[in-house]
Chain A
Amino acid sequence: MTSKFPRSLHLSFFFKLILVAVAFQIGGCATTSVQEQGGLEAHEVNAADPYEGFNRTMFNFNDSLDSYLFEPIVDGYKWITPDILETGVSNVFTNMKGISVVINDILQGKFNQGAQDTGRFLINSTVGIGGIFDIATHAGLEQNDEDFAQTLAVWGVPRGPYLVLPVLGPATVRGIPGAVVDTAANPVSYLGWPVAAMAALERRASEDGSLQFIDEAAVDPYVFTREAFIQHREYLAADGKVEYDGDDLLADLDDPEEDIDFFSDASTLGTQDGTLNEDSSIESEASVKPENNRIQQGEIPNELEAGKTSEAVSQERQEQSTEFEKAMSSFKKATKKYRRADIELELIKKVFKKQNNLPSEILDQ
């Protein structure tokens, strides 16, 4: 749950050079590996991502490039640069972007916001010494996030297909003219390649957290990045007033048959492996979870560690069962007045049985 997701990177001459030099060499390898995984063509085409095959190739290529080239550079940069300097550098580039923010404010007809962002730019450029110090934010002039791709969206230009550009990363077709215009409106583009390279480095450094988050959270990093990128861009274009597609997601839930089929019958739940289920008895099951967890991860249960034979274990289990039955009967008495007592009981029994069965399953192997 992070606030930032990678934005479309701006074209810079530095990147273009690398692009030409490296893209096609490594790109070839990546294509083969994706084809080996196989069968992309066989699946339905996502309307937002008709070029998924190409995009995945590029995604893998960018990912490798990042791991082997950009990430080490950024790590080095972060390591040698004191935090305060890093913030200063970041502020300077953010401030230069301020010009294009003002232009886009005006192009979108947001004149108040345009005046605010102009004030912000002037304050930070002067009192903030060329943008090193972000005085404006402290004065209550928060940075607005506007760019030409958003302006195009406001003008009604359709988003177009999702694209993963070599080196530059996630974009949509609408984002390409967007990036070109923003690059032209950014002073960084005219200050020579060392500045552009520094800007690119800073940008990558600022995305470090997001990339790390994707790495941790995503089961399919390609899809995760695509969805997060598209959603976040739409959110920015709409200035946070996004229509909830949640109802669309919930449409399937309106099928009452499905509800009855699986969940209304509490007695069928939790039979297989002490799974969590619909009922409030979830708590009781959850408390045994860490143990299940460990067993699933292949750790040896205590019984086996102690080097006991299966006979000893099963005898022990029998004793435990007797004790358990006693406990169960007293529980039954105590909870008679509750209407759900029986369901609870069933579930607990099942969980208990499962606990007992687990070691023998492992013994069988």
Chain B
Amino acid sequence: MFLKYKYFFRAVFLLISASAVLAEDGEQEMSAREVVANFQAQLLETMKNGKTLGFEGRYKKLTEPVIKSHDLTKIARIVVGREWKKLTDEQKQKLVDVFSRLSIASYAHNFKDFSDEKFEIVSEEETPRGGVIVHTLLKIPGEKDVKLDYQMKKKGNEWRIINIIANGVSDLALKRSEYTSILKREGFDALLEKISGKIKQYSTNKE
């Protein structure tokens, strides 16, 4: 009996969340800085409840904030570099899917608890190709500040994060080197398998 309604409830849930998304269309677009501030606030919120939420809980809580503030499709496209053009549509979709889950999972894993960390937005800078870099600091008590620079690009009317540079280390460049190296050496399936392995590792890691 319960099983019978499982899909029905799920469908209803999808409808509700979809209409919630549509309803937000009318709201004013956020600036690049606001998108970052908003995301960081949600990250902190999750960290504060991190221990009680557990990995699954954090994953669920961060799914929407990550998807809404990051341009995951564009990121997935950049990280495979020129190999993107060689992928079939099916492969592209699979990549975007698995990469999105990796992104959420790595946030859920790396921001698991709260010890009075703070984010501080320092400045904004425009880049030649019509992007913006939002310079921020992650302040961890008793440790040196971590410089986090968010590289933003417009997707339609919305600013989205496409790269995070932590103390000079660009996540995008790092992943691109890794992924293109694996694509060349071992192929697409091996890459997907490795990324899926990482997601599994994140989700099964003891807290």
Contacts and interface: CB of A to CB of B under 8 A. Distances in A.
A334 B179 contact: no
Contact of A276 (B15, B72, B143): B72
Contacts of A197: none
A234 interface: yes
A43 B184 contact: yes
B198 A356 contact: no
A184 interface: no
A329 to B, nearest CB: 11
Interface stretch (A1-9, A66-74, A92-100, A108-116): A1-9
Nearest to B140: A3
Please report whether the interface of chain B is mostly helix, strand, loop or mixed according to DSSP. helix
Contact of A220 (B12, B89, B182): B182
A247 B169 contact: no
A79 interface: no
Contacts of A288: 10, 14
A200 to B, nearest CB: 23
A273 B15 contact: no
A246 B4 CA distance: 50
A333 B98 CA distance: 34
Interface string B1-31: 0011011101111110111111001000000
Interface size class on chain B is 35 or more
B144 A3 contact: yes
B29 to A, nearest CB: 13
Contacts of A324: 7-8, 11
Contacts of B17: 283-284, 287
Nearest to B194: A219
A327 B10 contact: no
Given A252-B82, A356-B7, A281 B168 contact: no
Interface in A147-176: none
Contact of B21 (A44, A234, A280): A280
Interface string A1-34: 1111100000000000000000000000000000
Contacts of A206: none
Contacts of A281: 18, 21
Most buried by B among A44, A240, A275, A351: A275
B58 interface: no
B49 interface: no
Contacts of A355: 7, 10
B118 interface: no
A250 B160 CA distance: 14
A195 interface: no
Most buried by B among A217, A232, A289: A217
Contact of B169 (A231, A249, A283, A344): A231
Interface residues of A, number: 87
Contact of A272 (B94, B109, B182): B94
Contacts of B77: 252-253, 258
A244 B85 contact: no
Contacts of A244: 127, 133, 151, 165, 170
Contacts of B181: 220, 223
A316 B106 CA distance: 37
B113 to A, nearest CB: 15
Contacts of A293: 101, 199, 203
B165 A216 contact: no
> Which 9 pairs from chain A and chain B are nearest by CB?
A235-B168, A275-B97, A275-B93, A219-B194, A3-B146, A320-B7, A284-B18, A220-B178, A276-B100
22 contacts: A3-B146, A216-B202, A217-B106, A219-B195, A224-B174, A227-B177, A231-B168, A235-B167, A236-B168, A242-B168, A244-B127, A246-B165, A249-B163, A271-B93, A278-B73, A280-B21, A286-B63, A348-B11, A348-B18, A351-B14, A352-B7, A356-B7
Interface of B: 3-4, 6-8, 10-15, 17-22, 25, 56, 59-60, 63-64, 67-68, 72-74, 77-78, 81-82, 84-85, 89-90, 92-94, 96-97, 100-101, 106, 109-110, 127-129, 131, 133, 143-144, 146-148, 151, 153, 162-174, 176-179, 181-182, 184-185, 191, 194-203, 205
Given A246-B173, A348-B14, 11 more contacts: A219-B179, A219-B197, A250-B78, A250-B129, A258-B85, A276-B101, A281-B18, A283-B21, A320-B4, A341-B22, A355-B10
